[in-house]
Structure 1
Amino acid sequence: MTEIRTPRLLLRRWRDDDLAPMADINADPRVMHWIDDGSVRDLDQTAEDIERWEEEWDEEGFGLFAVELLASGELAGFTGLYMPEFLPEVMPDVAISWRFGTQFWGQGYASEAAQATLEFALQDRGLDRVISISRLGDTASENVISKLGMVPERETVHPEYGTALQVHAIDLTEFQA
């Protein structure tokens, strides 16, 4: 089982007891504001998401980690790698993503988890390049992306929702662990 420990976090595969706290995160309009069309997700949709994320682990050898606080055991959200099939123009690149509950914002958890995930992608999984896709104007995500050393590569539009997106990238030659 793939796990990564950071000073404050455990990045791990999903468990059954993660469903309710992740559904609470997905049900928060503040969390979902910058994701897809901004719609919240319910318990059933979250269950489908987690099932899909676990399938990606099995198929690709990477996926979205559940992020647990080491101090309390609470599920803070997720971070990890995924195939951004919704945006064919960037394929076959692998993207890094994160989503945390609002009570965990502003404490550096997203940056800590994303940095560990980027190291996992480039060093453990042997990827030469990782991208990040964010909605234009999502300054919180842009701050994390900047801390990862990723640079803007192009702007595009979400093919389904019509929202403006920014694609950032980093390759192994630029990565500083």
Structure 2
Amino acid sequence: MTVSATEPLVPPEVSSVRIETDRLILRQWQQGDLAPVAALRGDVRVGETLGGTLTGDQSHAFAQRMAAEIAARGWGFFAMEDRRSGDFAGFGGLRPVPFEAAFTPAIELGWTLSPALWGQGLATEAARAASGFAFETLGLDEVVAYTAASNQRSQAVMQRLGMVPDPALDFDHPRLAPDHPLARHVLYRLPRP
């Protein structure tokens, strides 16, 4: 049996959301996303901000988990497609924070882009669209974003979105060793406008 590159990774249980911006499409994961997400998560530049790189199998498992979450609730961390080229651009969107912390339960606004697309405003564009969906469609009162204290690039995106830092809730990421250089994370909040 031949599997199409546009075949979803999981059978859709519910109709999943598709968010479009001027330059991006945030959509359900497809078979054709597996190789580019493995390349993305295997890139040392990306791993420098996410606590390390992933193997191909780990990247595929991640994509399958994200696809299953979208199939279950209709939204999540979507695959991002560059509308200009049709290429995989990264992933991002919204998902429940997957660990316990002083600020949970909460919905995380997140993004990870291919390094070739950094510096073009695409992360801000995707995050603005996802936060609009969070407030206008889901009716959320707030979303949060967090990143390693050293990740100035992501913090700049958070600031462009109008997110406000909450230093009282900065934390050591529970999925990183306490002595890991990226363990300390900063928390930003974005209330409903």
Normalised by the length of structure 2, the TM-score is 0.84
Q: 1:20 aligns with which of 35, 54, 61?
A: 35
After superposing on structure 2, the runs of 4+ consecutive aligned residues of structure 1 that deviate more than 4 Å are none
Q: Could you tell me which residue of structure 2 aligns to residue 127 of structure 1?
A: 140
Q: 2:187 aligns with which of 161, 167, 172?
A: 167
- Structure 2 distance, partners of 1:85, 1:66, is 18
1:164 is displaced (CA, Å) by: 0.5
1:166 is displaced (CA, Å) by: 0.6
Partner SS for 2:22: coil
Q: Could you tell me which residue of structure 2 aligns to residue 2 of structure 1?
A: 17
Partner SS for 2:102: helix
Partner SS for 2:86: coil
Q: Could you tell me which residue of structure 2 aligns to residue 68 of structure 1?
A: 81
- Structure 1 distance, partners of 2:84, 2:95, is 27
Between 57-66 and 69-78, the greater mean CA deviation after superposition: 57-66
- Structure 2 distance, partners of 1:24, 1:142, is 24
- Structure 2 distance, partners of 1:10, 1:60, is 19
State the superposition RMSD in angstroms.
1.2
- Structure 1 distance, partners of 2:186, 2:73, is 24
The one-letter code matched in structure 2 to 1:166 is: V
C-alpha contact (below 8 Å) 1:84/1:90 kept by paired residues: no
C-alpha contact (below 8 Å) 2:42/2:55 kept by paired residues: yes
The one-letter code matched in structure 2 to 1:50 is: A
- Number of residue-to-residue matches in the alignment: 171
Between 58-67 and 19-28, the greater mean CA deviation after superposition: 58-67
Normalised by the length of structure 1, the TM-score is 0.92
Q: 2:116 aligns with which of 103, 106, 113?
A: 103
1:137 is displaced (CA, Å) by: 1.5
The one-letter code matched in structure 2 to 1:147 is: R
Structure 1 residues 31-77: Cα deviation after superposition (integer angstroms, max 9, x where no partner): 11111xx2211111111111111222233442011111111001110
The yes-or-no answer on 1:115 pairing with 2:135 is no
Q: Mind listing any 5+ residue stretches in structure 2 that lack a counterpart? A: 1-15
Partner SS for 1:57: helix
